[in-house]
Structure 1
Amino acid sequence: MNAPAPSFAPFAPWGTPDTVFDGLEGAWDLDRTIEGQAAMTGTATFTRLETGALKYREEGRIRLADGKEFDGHREYLFERAPGGFAVSFAEQPPRLFHGIVIVRDGDALAGSATHLCTPDTYDSSYRFLGDGSFVIRHTVHGPRKDYLSATTFKRRNA
């Protein structure tokens, strides 16, 4: 008796590595923890530009470990690349942060990259999950920084 063909249903919200980029467009709720240092809740929006790139902007409330709170924001530029996307800092001219090539990884689509921000190193990973959410993790090591930042994104309800 033949085994049933594997089901790729968990990837349905994201499709293939080449379609993940398009799935990012729109509004997301974000929940971030920076191990032992801070937490942030807020929103992230990927807005399509005339060039086809996506402008990423996050805004939210940051709560430090000592209880202090303040508002914060950050921007990046995401550009389509074969099998994934490139992420640049939102500067003029844009400066590459990292390129992500997406592959199937167990029950998710995933990609990773390393960025040297002398003298510190950022090891970043992206996981696109079957429920339509995604997680970005940055593990930062070096003489100036040493932390793990994990952000979960869930599609914002209209």
Structure 2
Amino acid sequence: MPRISPWGSADEVFNGLEGTWDLVRTIEKQATMAGIAVFTPQHATMLKYREDGRIRLADGKELDAHREYRFERAAGGFAVYFEEEPPRLFHRIRIVRDADALAGSASHLCTPDTYDSAYRFLVDGSFTIRHTVRGPRKDYVSATVFRRRREP
């Protein structure tokens, strides 16, 4: 019997993103990252995403990193935009049920490379984002796990 997802329906996932998350990322054969991601409401249909963390490269070098996006509510999922003016679409995610999880995927051509992205919203309240990047300039998989930050 499938467990009940705390994410609700595909249309409710966007609401569950708001707040602070711990993130752990692995970039295949290149780096790892640990940090915090925050989804901040801009208005009823827009969340600003900002992640801050520390990257450890395969050679042991460490550096600070951050990234920003805009998430916009859409029927059955959401759209992700690069944080720039004017906003530029990264991808649209349509969410469907996948066993006990909710999931969505999309592709983005960043000429000449392609980003195939997969989101999974899990029954334990966490979610994952996996980007498989292929092309003449890039060839790697970036996998990130997000867990709701527990305040002490």
TM-score scaled by length of structure 1: 0.93
Opposite residue 151 of structure 1, the aligned amino acid is T
Alpha-carbon distance in 2 for matches of 1:51, 1:15: 18
Q: Which has the higher strand share?
A: 2
**Which residues in structure 2 correspond to 1:110-125 (within 5 Å)?**
110-125=103-118
Picking from 1, 7, 14, the partner of 2:7 is 14
The answer for the alignment partner of 1:3 in structure 2 is none
TM-score scaled by length of structure 2: 0.97
Q: What percent identity do the matched residue pairs reach?
A: 72
SS in 2 for 1:131: coil
The answer for the alignment partner of 2:45 in structure 1 is 52
Aligned CA RMSD, in angstroms, stands at 0.9
The answer for the alignment partner of 2:23 in structure 1 is 30
The answer for the alignment partner of 1:144 in structure 2 is 137
Alpha-carbon distance in 1 for matches of 2:40, 2:97: 26
Alpha-carbon distance in 2 for matches of 1:63, 1:7: 38
Alpha-carbon distance in 2 for matches of 1:46, 1:8: 26
List per-residue Cα deviations over 1:34-59 (Å, max 9, x = no partner).
00000000000000003530000000
Instruction: Decide which structure has the larger Cα Rg and report it.
Output: 1
Gaps of 5+ in 2: none
TM-superposed deviation, 1:101: 0.2
SS in 1 for 2:11: coil
SS in 2 for 1:91: coil
Kindly tell me the number of residue pairs found equivalent between the two proteins: 151
Asked if residue 134 in structure 1 is aligned to residue 127 in structure 2, the reply is yes
Structure 1 runs of 4+ with >2 Å offset: none
Alpha-carbon distance in 1 for matches of 2:121, 2:44: 24
SS in 1 for 2:8: coil
